[in-house]
Amino acid sequence: MPLAHPVPDLVSLDLLQSVAELGSIRRAAMAHHVSQPAASMRLRALERTLGLELLDRSSGRARLTPAGTATVEWGGAVLDEVRALQLGVAALRAEGSTQLRLAASMTAAEYLVPGWLNRLRAAEPDLGVSLQMGNSEHVADVVARRDADIGFVEGDTVPATLDSKVVSRDDLVLVVAPSHPWSGRRGALSAAEVAATPLVLREPGSGTRQVLEGALGACGLSVTPLVELGSTTAIKAAVGSGLGPGVLSRLAIRAEVREGRMVIVPTSGFSLERAIRAVWPKAVVLSPAASLLLAQISRRADGSVADPEGPTRSSRR
């Protein structure tokens, strides 16, 4: 079916996503190597195309409107698919190269996989790689169908049809905007206080959501969603705009915390640590390319091998 009019251009959607991630048009313009006036013009053109006000400029600093937050959320899925298309096309163009098909959860894909692929590229420069992204539940499904050679998911639970190995560790943190009353809090929040507070959350099926629900569930509590969003970028934009507290990977908010655009609120009485796991179908021998990737992930800069879970343990659940 032909696309309906109007259709936003991808560069503008990518720029809007950068505004959400970086907190200002100026920083987004620098990241895209364009001038701030050029970035502003492109964003205004996007607003005209969609017929929506995406940014509130009344305070002198652009902030996402609710429509802008929703557009970042929907546009993020589009951009993820385009990046996957670009990776796939690049792999198809690589004549005679071996193909490695990856699937990764959003956190792993955004903050860990690029570094892993750099190491892999150094060892095997002609290797073609394709990458699918989604929440952990989706990645497990893709790997189980053998539509990917290996996948990376978050959390301690994987389907019984998959083997797994811990390749990294991460923890979740509760974050708020600097204007939130909790930003200056000294004492830690209890599990009961967190459970009673409406939160900006990832959708059910995501590794982040599973870990939070598991931690509170161990205390006999459950989460209270304020809004459910399908990407880390959308949650950061919502939390940064002051919508409410959110729970995100520490990996994902390092820049925002360092620059003072987001504040970590301490918690106590429950653990939000989680494992990042490689997964592949049971009784399937990993391809040489996938095995090489695992070896590169585990190898430290000094050449020794790091195992995030100590002695080798496959399929821990």
Here the tokens at position 232 are: 């880390």
Q: Do domains 1-96 and 170-273 have the same CATH topology?
A: no
Whether the CB-CB separation of 277 and 166 falls below 8 Å is answered with yes
Write the pLDDT tens digit of every residue in 8-58: 888 999 999 888 888 889 888 988 888 999 999 999 999 999 899 999 888
Of the listed ranges 13-27, 190-204, 239-253, the one predicted with least confidence: 13-27
DSSP code of residue 267: B
Q: Domain 97-168+276-298 carries which CATH code? A: 3.40.190.10
Hey, CA dihedral for 212, 268, 253, 23, is it positive or negative?
Answer: positive
Write the pLDDT tens digit of every residue in 89-142: 665 555 444 589 999 998 899 889 999 999 888 888 888 888 999 889 999 999
Where does the chain have alpha helices with state H? 10-22, 25-31, 36-50, 66-93, 106-111, 113-123, 136-144, 191-196, 207-217, 232-240, 254-258, 288-298
What 3-state class would DSSP assign to 309? coil
CB atoms near residue 33 (< 10 Å): 6
Residue among 29, 25, 99 nearest 62 (CA): 25
Q: Is the pLDDT of residue 74 over 90?
A: no
Q: 1-96 has which fold?
A: Arc Repressor Mutant, subunit A (1.10.10)
CA of residue 19 relative to chain centroid, distance: 16
Return the pLDDT at 57.
Answer: 86
Answering whether pTM is above 0.85, one says: no
At the second CATH level, the architecture of 170-273 is 3-Layer(aba) Sandwich (3.40)
What are the boundaries of each domain within the chain?
Answer: 1-96, 97-168+276-298, 170-273
